[in-house]
Amino acid sequence: MVKMKPWPIIALILVVVASVGAAVHYVREASIMGTPSLCRDPNNIKSHVYNPARLQTVKDCVTVSGIVDTVIAEDDGDYHVWFHVDPQYASLPNSANNDYRQGDLLAEIICATTVNQQDAVLACDGYTNQILPIPKANQNITVTGPYVLDSVHGWMEVHPVYSLIVS
């Protein structure tokens, strides 16, 4: 009987473990990053964000799903959609989201309602967002758009929303 040396078996096990780890990382990152077709900025939506300097882009595009908690029509013409992210996106809300919004992530549908805030009027002038339907509380949603830090409030957002699916 031929006795095998243990190092080739150990090397093979290490290669398999590393490959599985890399695959898990790739799948996780791919699920957070939006697909190329959804990550386009339809109708140049981003150009209608008012005071864009307050938003610091962390990722150019993410796709995130979860359950809507609250939808608020804001004076700046945006709908604030606060939603509890599905478990695979638990790393996206930050401490400010946790402290002030019970861990909810904000998705902003811009220029979708009446603009009553003077400094936001020009940004939405001549543009009305076509994202419909506006979701309601307890609905499952999937949103795609830039993942940003709102430097005024300190929380993380998907802003502006490029696409929204209610399921």
- Report yes or no: 78 and 116 within 8 Å, Cβ to Cβ: no
Q: What is the pLDDT of residue 40?
A: 82
Tens digits of per-residue pLDDT, 51-87? 999 999 999 999 999 999 999 999 999 999 999 999 9
The domain defined by 42-166 folds into OB fold (Dihydrolipoamide Acetyltransferase, E2P) (2.40.50)
Alpha-carbon separation of residue 147 from 4, 55, 92, 153, 162 (angstroms): 52, 9, 9, 15, 11
Q: pLDDT class for 13, splitting at 50, 70, 90?
A: low
* pLDDT(9) > 70: no
pTM of the model: 0.77
Of residues 34 and 115, the one with the higher pLDDT is 115
Provide the terminal-to-terminal Cα distance of the chain, rounded to the nearest Å: 61
Q: Tell me what the mean pLDDT of segment 41-49 comes to.
A: 87
Q: What is the pLDDT of residue 34?
A: 46
Q: pLDDT class for 21, splitting at 50, 70, 90?
A: very low
Tens digits of per-residue pLDDT, 99-145? 999 999 999 999 999 999 999 999 999 998 988 899 999 999 999 99
- Report yes or no: 53 and 79 within 8 Å, Cβ to Cβ: no
Q: What is the pLDDT of residue 102?
A: 94
Residue found under tokens 């599905």: 86
Domain ranges of the chain: 42-166
Backbone angles phi, psi at 150, to 5 degrees: -80, 105
Round to whole Å and give the CA distance between 82 and 71: 6
Q: pLDDT class for 30, splitting at 50, 70, 90?
A: very low
* pLDDT(14) > 60: no
Of residues 152 and 34, the one with the higher pLDDT is 152
